[in-house]
Amino acid sequence: MKKLARRVLTLFMMLCLTIGAQAISTEEEIRLGAEAAARFEQQYGLVNDPAMTGRLNRIGQQLLANAERKDLPWRFRVINIDAYNAAAFPGGFVYATKGLMDGMTDEEVAFVVGHEVGHVDYRHSIKQLESAQMRRLGLIAIAMGAGGGNIDRNTATLIQLTDAVIGSQYSKGDEAESDRYGMRQMAKAGYDPAFALSAFQKLASQSGGGTPGFLNAILGSHPLPKERIAQGSELIVQIPYSPEIMPPVNLGGGGDERLYQDATSAIEYTLSLLGQRHRDSLQRTAENVALGRGGPGNARVVRVTAERGQGLSGIENALLARPELKQIGQAFGAAVVDAGNNQVEAVVLLQGGY
């Protein structure tokens, strides 16, 4: 019995040493990613428009200022596909589609690209290759042996490995981790993380029901789930972001001097990003309710307050935390007013959705 126990322990230690030896180094990761990127570009083609590629590279470089892995040859390119999508391969090879670049603002692109950079920074694809499942298939062991301890591009195994990279599907945990990463990085680069919501909305509306030709992408093998959009609104309030200064109170007369007109427009936009529908009649009613001039009628009322010094971010975060706004497709009107004592108040009227 003791001999059997020692034998099992010896085999376990040998297995641990073997697993450690099979870990993919940064150099091997870059070679593997470069091979996958080359095959990817050959299949789909690149967009050579200097303005479009320059815009993507500018946004990408802003995000890289706070990336963890500075030792990678990061590269950003536009792939010639009209659908909205993005992909990233090990080693820092990041792609956005032509459709995504045409259809998204800089802020939205910053979130999507930041999400993809997160997959590389966290080594999500590489960890899949190093997983127990891949070891059981023997791919890593074969590659390491054929290359004398390094991945050899002339081996058939490299083809299998690059296929695995291009066709990999990230887990829900990986996607959530990269969503948080993308929001943090865009905020550090000066982009309001609330724009992640509009990126989610556009991706969801454009994803359809089909499977893309490549799975290592933000949309994966299925349309963007609505739950991920809801999770995004919860994540945003946790992201540190320098508050914007509150715009001046309206001085146009007519008894509405307490209204923050520019802030009201900003809140309207934020609610639209959450999937709500602005309605002019509710807007007029919301302004009257905020100024104490009447009741909401048959609309539901949501009120939140924040310190004036917190700027627009404070009032937006307070709204994003309200459960009444989780339901997508409600009609709304909104107004922001000076509540006195260095406080601001947002009043939102809602109809439908329940």
pLDDT digits (tens, 9 = 90+) for 260-274: 888 888 888 888 877
d(CA 46, CA 328): 36
Whether 344 contacts 337, CB under 8 Å? yes
Kindly give, in sequence order, each residue whose CB lies less than 8 Å from that of residue 354, ignoring residues fewer than 6 positions away: 327
pLDDT band at 340 (very low <50, low <70, confident <90, very high): confident
Same domain membership, residue 270 and residue 224: no
> What's the token pair of residue 323?
């459960």
Q: Is residue 242 included in any domain, yes or no?
A: no
At residue 32, the pLDDT reads 86
Long-range contact set of residues 202-206: C-beta below 8 Å, sequence gap at least 24: 202/84, 202/103, 202/104, 202/108, 203/84, 203/112, 204/229, 206/83, 206/84, 206/99, 206/103
The CATH number of residue 302's host domain is 3.40.33.10
Counting every residue written for the chain, the total comes to 354
Residue 11 has pLDDT above 50, yes or no: no
Same domain membership, residue 174 and residue 269: no
Paired sense of beta strands 277-278 and 86-89, if any: unpaired
Same domain membership, residue 50 and residue 162: yes
Q: Is residue 148 included in any domain, yes or no?
A: yes
At residue 161, the pLDDT reads 61
Q: Is residue 183 included in any domain, yes or no?
A: yes
Question: Residue type at 227?
Answer: E
Q: Is residue 8 included in any domain, yes or no?
A: no
Q: Residue with structure tokens 């074969």?
A: 142
Paired sense of beta strands 331-340 and 300-307, if any: unpaired
Same domain membership, residue 281 and residue 191: no
Same domain membership, residue 322 and residue 214: no
> What's the token pair of residue 315?
């009032």
Residue-wise DSSP of 317-328: HHHHT-GGG-ST
Q: Is residue 196 included in any domain, yes or no?
A: yes
Same domain membership, residue 205 and residue 343: no
Q: Is residue 248 included in any domain, yes or no?
A: no
Range of the domain at 202: 26-236
The DSSP 8-state label assigned to residue 131 in this structure reads S
At residue 279, the pLDDT reads 92
Same domain membership, residue 281 and residue 229: no
196 or 219: which leads in pLDDT: 196
Same domain membership, residue 317 and residue 193: no
Same domain membership, residue 88 and residue 229: yes
d(CA 68, CA 118): 9
User: Based on the structure, what is the number of domains in the chain?
Assistant: 2
341 or 211: which leads in pLDDT: 341
Same domain membership, residue 270 and residue 231: no
Q: Is residue 5 included in any domain, yes or no?
A: no
At residue 93, the pLDDT reads 95
pTM above 0.85, yes or no: no
Same domain membership, residue 98 and residue 50: yes
At residue 193, the pLDDT reads 87
Each residue's pLDDT tens digit, 12-39: 344 344 444 457 789 988 988 898 899 8
Whether 219 contacts 85, CB under 8 Å? yes
Residue 104 has pLDDT above 80, yes or no: yes
Which H/E stretch holds residue 43?
helix 26-44
